[in-house]
Structure 1
Amino acid sequence: MVEPGIEHPGHRQQQPAGEILGVGHVVELSHPTAPDKGTRDTGHAFLSFTLSHRWSKSGAEPSVRRKGFTMPRMIVNDRPVDIAMDPRTPLLWALRDAANLTGTKYGCGAGDCGACTVMVDGAALRACLVTLSECEGRFITTIEGLSPDRSHPVQQAMVAEQAIQCGFCTPGIVMAAAALLARNANPSDDDIRDAIPNLCRCGVQPRLLEAVRRAARVMRRETTLHAAPVPGIAPADAARTTPALSPAPSGDTPR
């Protein structure tokens, strides 16, 4: 397990990431790894991100070695992958820097804020604390893989209840809420608060509570909801489609 509080030395600067290619193609780049306990020297590891369509959802094959590194195998958003990287590296950096799945955000690096929440085998976990070795053979779902067309009830309800605000912490909140509703479609308010302790400087907690309640009703098929525009919609059309995105009338103060 990576020691809590380890700070990624380049977290303010996005590492360049190449496109993920097909079978047999590898994207390689230099990547800082977590330091050993008691030292601030991070060193560098060489990483590669490889797709293999030979796998099935029944599980990943055992680890393989490439260029001296053990390559943990896992399923990321339904795509089997090999990752050649120090096995102590937090999952967060493999997702962001290797896979270019930047919807998973870096917040605190200590598991406190919840901005990096992803699903691991359906459970909401902090990607900054889960190491690659702990993810081997497991199913990882990020915000990009939850619902590419934004149709998930939590996403729809977050828009409908205007619980987005700045949006930085939203992916982690959505993933935590989706994991909750997957196992409990009729949560109490206490269940919601316990499952989504994510920090949010914008103060969306009251609206978030209502959004999860509303998403739960959709999950129980008691109601329907279509609040979020489909991907690719023009901003002007999005504003007309979604009241939450519409500008306030002249003279009105946005709430």
Structure 2
Amino acid sequence: MAEETLYSRLRRVIKEPHAAIHRINLSRLPLCLPPNASQPTLYALGLSRYAELYFGVEAEWVACTGEPIEWIAYFDVHQVHAIDDTERVRALLRLLYMPEIPRTKPLEADIAFLSAMNTVRLEQFHAQNPGSRIREQIRQRVRGHPHRLVAYIWIMYSALLYGGDRILGLLKAYPAFWDLSRAELESDRTPTPLSFWHIDDSVTVKEKFRDAMANLDQFLTPKEQEDILDESLLIFLQFNTLTSRLDDEAQQFRDQASAPSS
């Protein structure tokens, strides 16, 4: 019987917590949209919180690999020799990188667009973003242990690659809600404020991403693999904390919106 790979073990370990948080977050999404909401404030609120996790992961990813423009055209995994641990881990993180995946720029554009909409009121939430605290936790846990990024990369980008189309289809049902025309939403490239969910040639990217994950074992020690599995479970605890705080913030917003004006 073939030995189980890190990829298969990771999928098995996160199956239940992933299903649980996916179910919780999907149940919240309709509350942010018509007819339950008349403005995208709650959606913008949630996006701004989860955006911090992507900002944190991508900052650490680039810190470990170097700026992609400097190496991506020359990188060949077959020419990499594990001279030392730093080079070995840098190689595996470069192996996982694809130009279509990073979400920092789309998220910044989406949040800026939403924040500028007349119907969105995020000012009262800007000073206290619980996602920022998790972003700092990611930085602390990854510095000195960059292999742990594998857990974050797999969980956060596979969620987008394998579930993003379904969510984008739901969001596109309300063009006026986003201050967009139907033609804008049906263009080949999804515009802001929903560009976070759009990945060019997502089918090909999904296959390449899965193949890269399936070939990581050669770069990782058994101890590092166990560390990645442990980190994956911690990530879902972070997600649960963030969603719980979002519930509190959303209720706060609803209470403020329904309070009689003085």
- The two structures have a TM-score, normalised by structure 2, of 0.23
Higher helix share: 2
Larger RCO of the pair (alpha carbons < 8 Å, separation 6+): 2
Higher share of residues assigned strand: 1
